[in-house]
């Protein structure tokens, strides 16, 4: 059984490498520095007096496919639909002269992607906003967190503009999807390779 499993994995890895779009991770324009730790990626950008950090994790970032029935209709040799990774991402804005970090929790709404109804609609939304003490890794639940569900639209628009002024806009969000998808695929191939070694290990 293990032999067959290992053989299957070998073929699978070959296939995945064939369809791999990026041999190296795509860059995000606008002077963002990328750090990757396993499945977590951090993009950092410094502008006058501020540091902007965007963090996301590729785990569970691929939305479930809607159509279960299309699987059976797939003819052999047909390309599988491309998987896209749309992770939630957290934007932290640190100003040099304050002890506080503004934290904005953003995500890609599932129903928005691929709808061309509205010309100017944003491809990501802000879900929550809070202040956290700068430099502390553990965020406190006792800090007020603003949920945007019931937020005044004008305030919400200003928050989106605030992000856009710092380089977090639709272009950035598109490139983040590119990057995350490439990263997810790279990790998936690595996982298959590790699994193969594990299965072959006597």
Of the two residues 28 and 115, the one the predictor is more confident about is: 28
In percent, the amount of the chain with pLDDT more than 70 equals 86
Q: Closest Cα to residue 128, out of 161, 167, 176, 89?
A: 89
CA atoms of 127 and 147, how far apart (whole Å): 6
**pLDDT band of 16, cuts 50, 70, 90:** very high
Per-residue model confidence as pLDDT tens digits over 44-65: 999 989 999 999 999 999 987 7
pLDDT at 117: 44
Of the two residues 110 and 20, the one the predictor is more confident about is: 20
pLDDT at 24: 87
User: How far from 138 is each of 94, 105, 142, 143, CA to CA, in Å?
Assistant: 16, 15, 12, 12
Per-residue model confidence as pLDDT tens digits over 83-136: 899 999 999 999 988 888 999 999 999 765 544 444 458 899 999 999 988 877
Q: Closest Cα to residue 85, out of 52, 63, 66?
A: 63
Cβ of 8: how many Cβ atoms within 10 Å? Answer: 13
202: Cα within 13 Å, side-chain hemisphere = 0
Sheet holding 50-57, edge to edge: 33-37, 40-47, 50-57, 89-95, 100-107, 125-133, 145-147
Domain 28-59+83-111+118-178 CATH (choose: 3.50.50.60, 3.10.280.10, 1.10.1520.10, 3.40.50.10540): 3.10.280.10
């Amino acid at each position: 059984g293990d032999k067959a499993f290992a053989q299957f994995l070998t073929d699978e890895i070959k296939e995945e490498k064939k369809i791999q779009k990026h041999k190296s991770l795509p860059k995000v324009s606008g002077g963002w520095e990328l750090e990757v730790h396993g499945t977590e990626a951090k993009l950092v950008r410094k502008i006058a007096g501020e540091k902007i950090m965007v963090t996301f994790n590729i785990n569970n970032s691929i939305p479930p496919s809607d159509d279960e029935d299309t699987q059976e209709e797939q003819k052999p040799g047909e390309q599988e639909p491309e998987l896209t990774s749309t992770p939630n991402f957290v934007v932290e804005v640190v100003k040099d002269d304050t002890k506080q970090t503004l934290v904005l929790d953003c995500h890609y709404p599932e129903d928005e992607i691929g709808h061309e109804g509205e010309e100017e609609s944003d491809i990501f939304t802000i879900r929550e906003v809070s202040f956290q003490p700068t430099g502390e890794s553990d965020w406190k639940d006792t800090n007020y967190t603003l949920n945007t569900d019931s937020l005044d639209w004008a305030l919400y628009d200003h928050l989106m503009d605030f992000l856009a002024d710092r380089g977090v806009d639709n272009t950035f969000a598109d490139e983040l999807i590119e990057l995350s998808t490439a990263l997810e695929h790279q990790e998936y191939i690595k996982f298959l390779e590790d699994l193969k070694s594990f299965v072959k290990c006597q």
